[in-house]
A and B are shown apart, each in its own frame.
Chain A
């Protein structure tokens, strides 16, 4: 395990609400974006002289554009319902990590400049001038929110701190205080096509390598096509799926499902990234620009459907925003929703019976499943509300014999963020990521002890990367994390596949007979 200069929280049997400790995370902040990462996104490179005025103007602009921001800054009554709901508060005890504490950093400035009470009675209503200290607090604490929306489930007015964080980050970016991690990545998407900066040739190589691996293992030539014009399905998946573990095992799984379903599909080098960090920085314009690549790729390739791979926030942008940002998609086949999730596709194929499943292939594991926040609380799968909880579980149960859910207050819409979402998956925020993972780690270790869980399935590239990195800090193994489609991949018996497992299981059957 890596050496740390911070204390790793002790896991408790159940997550308790800690007494608050002021300022425990005041030092935490990500690297600020230099000018070369700001300009491609349309932001200035450094703090201008009249930054206060520009920041207040930016706030006024956003207040006029987003009803959420206006209503949420007005409506909070400080009831405290959200105060124990954020994983970052539970893990750090810092009151500015309580959702309302975080919102108030922006709200007190809003009140000072935009409300009667704050203009004339600032002390009474806790209104504050926008000073450099306040800006520093903004930069620190609005980068300690993973925009997971857990607070919005419990707020009596549905106040969503993610909306406030996004607005705050957009205001800061507009005065030259952007975040390096997100903005550098968005620049790569614009320049190269994906977050990792993986050029087309490297991508083609990687996919060829995958084809060889799968053929070596199964004897079946499963294709992983790139830029294939006239394919029916465009698959848009997070670029981590092309090489990271366990992500790539998921990608192998998607290919096997498509192969067995007998559909033609392709990846696109232009839209070789499902992620859309434009959402994290609260920039409609950048989010839209990133989304347009997918529309363009779909048009150029002449596909009939768009399907997204396993990624949490990407599915939020895809499911909830894509039609808005890059629609209308009237050029696609109207028989299918636009876009679809790979799990919707796989679950349908499982129900149709097109996949030959050998559940015993996953018998070496006892699984639990982590609901990703953006899938759970900001999107849907299938036709019924809550399909986003049932479909992944249905698929897992269809390909695995041993599945246990974690505690009910930590799953479905109550799920705890992995600790690395919302544009915080960067090494300069390691302390925050480790501490923010505490509630999820507690729920996980509970099912490990009670039910002998060996692995946790996830369906989000950020969750997978975050857990892989953070689990060792809590004394658990990084390879506990598996992709949902990795489980599917393990269990699919491809048509014409000859493997050792087949022979072994045939042998078992004979013995049993």
Chain B
């Protein structure tokens, strides 16, 4: 095995562990921390079914962001949806045999890389040109966009400009997933593919220690996930109940 192949094998195992363990710990903390008071932003659903629907609209359509600012919504929504579509298409690099729906959408979904890049550029432009957004941006906020753009652009390069030996890349990941190192092929030494994989690993590593925590966070947001029924049902946290004794 080449040095590059060994490096990336170690890198992806580490990144995967950090991502899963980091996220699991964070989510466990969110689960365990009580919400002592009913604070849904009203008007709010009065049933759990209603809350599921509210969360669905929030996560799929970015409802609140749409109410707030149309440009940020447009770029943000296009970026996220294109990202999910592209990720879905990426299943083909990890499955054997590849799931039918992935095969169907693949020829079309590959162009969504451009939507993703345009979305990111739009968001970055707002960060640079809108004085209020510029004021609240830390270096990490710019770097995060650079990282995602790097992933999008390097990935698009391997698909549209400098074709990489994607069969070898897939074989590498299949072997990683099966913990089969005896017949593991070498990763192609293609600069765009190397950059793409390195940046993805970096993203996985910083996910649980960065603002990317908004992804699990939104599901735990009490203003969005609580049912508006405080008069009907008494809501009390463990630590608050202790005050009653």
Instruction: Please give the residue numbers on chain A whose beta carbons come within 8 Å of chain B beta carbons, in ascending order.
Output: 17, 19-20, 63-68, 70-72, 74-85, 95, 98, 100-101, 104, 115-117, 121, 123-126, 149, 152-160, 163, 284-285, 288, 319-321, 323-324, 327-328, 337-339, 376-380, 383-386, 388-389, 413
Contact = CB atoms under 8 A, between A and B. Distances in A.
Contacts of A95: 132, 135-136
Given A81-B68, A284-B240, A70 B30 contact: yes
9 contacts: A68-B35, A95-B135, A154-B69, A158-B64, A321-B38, A324-B235, A378-B39, A385-B42, A413-B43
Contact of A71 (B211, B217, B239): B217
B210 A153 contact: no
B65 A70 contact: no
A413 B235 CA distance: 24
B243 A156 contact: no
Contacts of A149: 41, 223
Contacts of B36: 65-66, 284, 324
Interface in B133-148: 133, 135-141, 143
Contact of A75 (B67, B136, B218, B237): B218
Given A80-B69, A80-B136, A385-B44, A163 B221 contact: no
A288 B136 contact: no
Contact of B217 (A64, A75, A152, A320): A75
Nearest to A321: B37
Given A81-B64, A323-B230, A63 B33 contact: yes
Q: Give the 10 A-B CB pairs with smallest separation, nearest first.
A: A75-B217, A126-B138, A154-B68, A385-B43, A158-B223, A81-B68, A80-B133, A83-B132, A158-B224, A158-B221
B207 to A, nearest CB: 12
B231 A160 contact: no
Interface of B: 26, 29-30, 33-39, 41-46, 58, 62, 64-65, 67-69, 72, 76, 123, 126-127, 130-133, 135-141, 143, 206, 209-211, 213-214, 217-218, 220-224, 228, 230-237, 239-240, 243
Contacts of A159: 221, 223
Contact of B41 (A77, A160, A284, A285): A160
Nearest to B241: A324
Given A77-B214, A158-B224, A320-B230, 4 more contacts: A95-B135, A95-B136, A124-B138, A339-B231
Contacts of A83: 132-133, 136
Query: By CB atoms of chain B within 10 A, which of A78, A98, A101 has the most?
Result: A78
Contacts of A157: 214, 217-218, 221, 224
A327 B38 CA distance: 14
A128 B206 CA distance: 20
A327 B236 CA distance: 10
Contacts of A152: 41, 223
A124 B143 contact: yes
Given A78-B211, A284-B36, A380-B42, A67 B220 contact: yes
A316 B65 CA distance: 25
Central interface residue in B29, B139, B210, B220, by most chain A CB within 10 Å: B220
Contact of B33 (A17, A70, A288, A323): A70
B42 to A, nearest CB: 6
Nearest to A21: B131
Contacts of A123: 139
A88 B98 CA distance: 55
A342 to B, nearest CB: 15
B132 A379 contact: no
B240 A20 contact: no
Contacts of A156: 58, 62, 64-65, 68, 76, 214, 218
Contacts of A76: 211, 214
B133 A78 contact: yes
A403 B2 CA distance: 79
Contacts of A81: 64-65, 68-69, 72
Most chain A CB within 10 A, of B29, B36, B217, is at B217
Given A78-B136, A80-B72, A158 B41 contact: yes
